[in-house]
Structure 1
Amino acid sequence: MTVVAYIGAALAEIAGCFAFWAWLRLDKSPWWLVPGALSLCLFAYLLTLVDAEQAGRTYAAYGGVYIASALVWLWLAEGVKPDRWDLIGAAVCLGGAAIILWGPRSA
C-alpha cells in the first residue's frame, strides 16, 4: 500500500502544481485552479495512508518518489526524454527513500 500511496500522491501533486503552472505560465483559464486545488488535496490525503509512525519520515521518503515521478511527467506530459543524469539522480533518490522508509530502526 505504501508504494501505491506514494505514486498516487506524486501524480496528484504534480498534476495539481501543473494546473497552477498552466494558469500562470501558459495563460490557461483560472478554472484550471479548481482541479488543481482538488488534486493537491488528494495528494495530502494520500500521504496520510503511508504506514509510518512519523510524518517527517513519510515526507522525506516521499521526496525520492516525487523526483522520479516528476521525470516521468517530464517525459510523458512535456515530451522531453530524461537523460542519463536524470535517471541516475532519480535512482539515487529512490535508493535514499527506501533507506529512510524501510531501514532498520532501533527502538
Structure 2
Amino acid sequence: MTIAAYIIAALTEIAGCFAFWHVVRSGGSPLWLLPGVSSLIVFAGALTFVDAAAAGRAFAAYGGIYILASLAWMWGVEGVRPDRWDAGGTALCLVGAAIIVFGPRG
C-alpha cells in the first residue's frame, strides 16, 4: 500500500504543479488550475495512506520517489532526457529514502 500511495502521490503532485507551471510560465489558460488543484488534493490525500508512525518520516521518504518521478515526467512529458547527473542524484536520494524507511528504530 505504501508504494502505491507514493506513486499516486508523485504523479498527482507533479501533474498539479505542472498545471501551475503551464499557466504561469507557458501562458496556459487559467482553466488548467482546476485540474491542477484537484491533483494536489489527491496528492495530499494519498500520503495519508503511507504506513508510517510519523508524518514527517513518510514525507521525507517520499522525497526520493518524487525526485525519480519528476525526472521520469521530464523525460516522458517534456521530452528532456535526464543526464548522468540527474541519474546519480536520483540514486543518492533513493538511498537516503531507503535509509529513512528501513533504518532500525529503537
What one-letter code is carried by the residue in structure 2 that aligns with 1:29? S
**Mapping 1:50-65, distance limit 5 Å:** 50-65=50-65
Alignment match, 2:79: 79
* C-alpha distance in structure 1 between counterparts of 2:15 and 2:96, whole Å: 24
Measure the CA separation in 1 of the matches of 2:92 and 2:4: 20
Match of 2:18 in 1: 18
Structure 1: distance between partners of 2:54 and 2:20: 29
- For the residue of structure 1 that corresponds to 2:78, the secondary structure is coil
Q: Root-mean-square deviation (CA), in Å? A: 0.7
Residue in structure 2 matched with residue 33 of structure 1 by the alignment: 33
Deviations 1:16-67 (A, max 9, x none): 0000000111111110000000000000000000000100001110111111
Partner of 2:46: 46
Query: Aligned pairs, how many?
Result: 106
* 1:101 aligned residue: 101
In the alignment, the residues of structure 2 paired with residue 23 and residue 89 of structure 1 have an alpha-carbon distance, to the nearest angstrom, of 29
Distance in 2 (CA, whole Å) between partners of 1:51 and 1:104 is: 16
Task: Name stretches of at least 5 consecutive residues in structure 1 with no aligned partner.
Answer: none
Gaps of 5+ in 2: none
Q: CA deviation at 1:105?
A: 0.5
C-alpha deviation, 1:4, in angstroms? 1.2
Percent of aligned pairs sharing the same letter? 62
- Distance of 2:83 and 2:28 partners within structure 1: 29
